[in-house]
Amino acid sequence: MRRIVFIGLGDVEIVRRVLSDLLLNPALHGTLEIRLHDSDPGLLATAEALAGSLDAEAGAGSRVSACPDLRRALDGAEFVVANIDVGGFEATLKDFEIPHRYGLRQTIGDTIGIGGIFRGLRSIPVFVELAREMARLCPDAWLLSCSDPMAMTGMAVRLGTGFPRFAGMCHAVCDTHIYLADMVGRAVSEIDFLTAGLNHQSFVLRFEAEGRDLYPELEAALADDLSHVRVEIYRTFGFFPTQSSEHAAEYVPWIMRHSGETARLGVQVEEYLRRSGQNLHRYEETRRALASGRSLLIRWQHQEPVAAALQAMLTGERGEVYVNVPNTGLIANLPPEACVEVPADVDAAGIHPREVGELPIQLVALNRTFLNVVELTVRAVLDEDPRHVLHAALVDPNTAATLPLPAIQALCGELIAAHRHLLPEALAR
């Protein structure tokens, strides 16, 4: 049987969507061993019950087991799907509440911004250790990450371990392609897309049908849209961004500090807290559904990228998935140490990223601003250098635009103290 390990089970909806896609594929029936691991016994028990229920409903004949011991879970794995949120909702709440007292506003705060930095500081050590254990116990397996901050953990795995089979997978590119196709009244399958950049900051470089550029049609469709961040970024920089308006606002210095701009552009401040609350609600709903025997199998949906990649590798049916992987010449004018988002062909032999070439210089400039925060956060952990925590905050667009140096120093100190039990010892002093 083909062994797939799920690490991190707090987002029950991701587990449900990925397993539904896999278990509904008749070609995979009777072939899968699904191992589940989480340090939280309650999450682990719920995920085991969910996986068993989905498998039974799909008639997939999979072997499902809960593994409290990480090393036992990894032993002999072919694929490891990681969706890790170190500290969970309580840590996220601190990432928002403490900066809020300093007057620093965030929307999502999971990839960039002060929230993204501290999520990275918590997550990077876990991913580095996971990659090291995989190199020992299942060296030929793929580490498929659904976790934020993806650009940070991907860079850290490469620089900290050299583990070669890392691919981060995010639905933002797929969702953006669906949105743009809908805006010009076409099916996604009719359009030739090329999108690339960094996770949560990629851009649609090619948007064509029958060899004709569709951007003029998009511009006509957006003629009356004056109030969305991603539309404003598209009109200013020339290419449509893949991230939501709420999140895109955090990557530039001219929006979040101005209440008039967040109001004009409809930016929902502290939006991620609402989403995190919804995730907690979904978890409780799932537990109730399992207790009452209600159906949880998702039969109709667009496929999760990680599920699409798994199915292509398991069945050998070639597919395309957007992945976040080390920049081995894939984007020529971004640094080689970066973890970049590009299209990839996927088949039984694995994941094969495509070279994109050079990005337009204005997009590279935006990516480099993001990469400054990413690299300094990664180096803080790998070099055990707490100075780089402050350095990352000082070059972060939103934090630096909003607060003076003494406030940023105090904020970093308070967040380090609040998260001390979740940080590497060298950074928690």
For 149, other C-beta atoms within 10 Å of its C-beta total 32
Model pLDDT for residues 268-296, shown as the tens digit of each residue: 999 999 999 999 999 999 999 999 999 99
Per-residue confidence (pLDDT) for residue 429, from 0 to 100: 80
Please give the Cα distance from 429 to 416 (Å, whole number).
8
Biggest alpha carbon distance in the chain? 60
For 242, other C-beta atoms within 10 Å of its C-beta total 30
Mark the binding-site residues for Mn(2+), compressed into ranges. 170, 200
**What is the rounded average pLDDT of the residues 177-201?**
97
**What is the rounded average pLDDT of the residues 403-411?**
98
Of 165, 167, 163, residue with least CA distance to 146: 167
Q: Which residue has the higher pLDDT, 303 or 170?
A: 170
Of 332, 358, 350, residue with least CA distance to 142: 350
Percent of the chain with pLDDT over 90: 97
**What is the rounded average pLDDT of the residues 224-243?**
92
258: annotated active-site residue? no
Per-residue confidence (pLDDT) for residue 227, from 0 to 100: 76
Question: What is the helix (H) or strand (E) element at residue 117, kind and residue range?
Answer: helix 113-137
**What is the rounded average pLDDT of the residues 12-37?**
97
pLDDT reading at 178 higher than 70: yes
Q: Which two tokens stand for residue 219?
A: 């511009």
Helix (H, G, I), strand (E, B), or coil: what is residue 35? strand
Per-residue confidence (pLDDT) for residue 302, from 0 to 100: 67
Return phi, psi of residue 280, to 5°: -65, -40
Return phi, psi of residue 147, to 5°: -100, 140
Catalytic residue from among 29, 100, 171, 228: 171
Mark the binding-site residues, compressed into ranges. 170, 200
Model pLDDT for residues 63-101, shown as the tens digit of each residue: 999 999 999 999 999 999 999 999 999 999 999 999 999
Domain boundaries, the chain: 2-89+106-170+298-353, 361-420
Distances (CA, A) of 171 to 146, 175, 350: 9, 6, 20
**What is the rounded average pLDDT of the residues 17-37?**
97
pLDDT reading at 119 higher than 70: yes
Per-residue confidence (pLDDT) for residue 226, from 0 to 100: 72
Q: E-assigned strands of 130-281?
A: 142-145, 166-168, 192-198, 201-209, 212-213, 240-241
Model pLDDT for residues 102-116, shown as the tens digit of each residue: 999 999 999 999 999
| Domain 2-89+106-170+298-353 CATH assignment equals 3.90.1820.10 | yes
Model pLDDT for residues 121-150, shown as the tens digit of each residue: 999 999 999 999 999 999 999 999 999 999
* Helix segments in 138-184, DSSP class H: 150-161, 172-183
Model pLDDT for residues 302-326, shown as the tens digit of each residue: 678 999 999 999 999 999 999 999 9
Per-residue confidence (pLDDT) for residue 225, from 0 to 100: 78
Average pLDDT in the chain: 96
* Helices 113-137/361-382 angle, 10° precision: 70
Per-residue confidence (pLDDT) for residue 286, from 0 to 100: 97
pLDDT reading at 176 higher than 90: yes
* Owner of token pair 């896609």: 21
Percent of the chain with pLDDT over 70: 100
* Owner of token pair 């003029």: 216
Are the C-beta atoms of 389 and 410 separated by less than 8 Å?
Answer: no
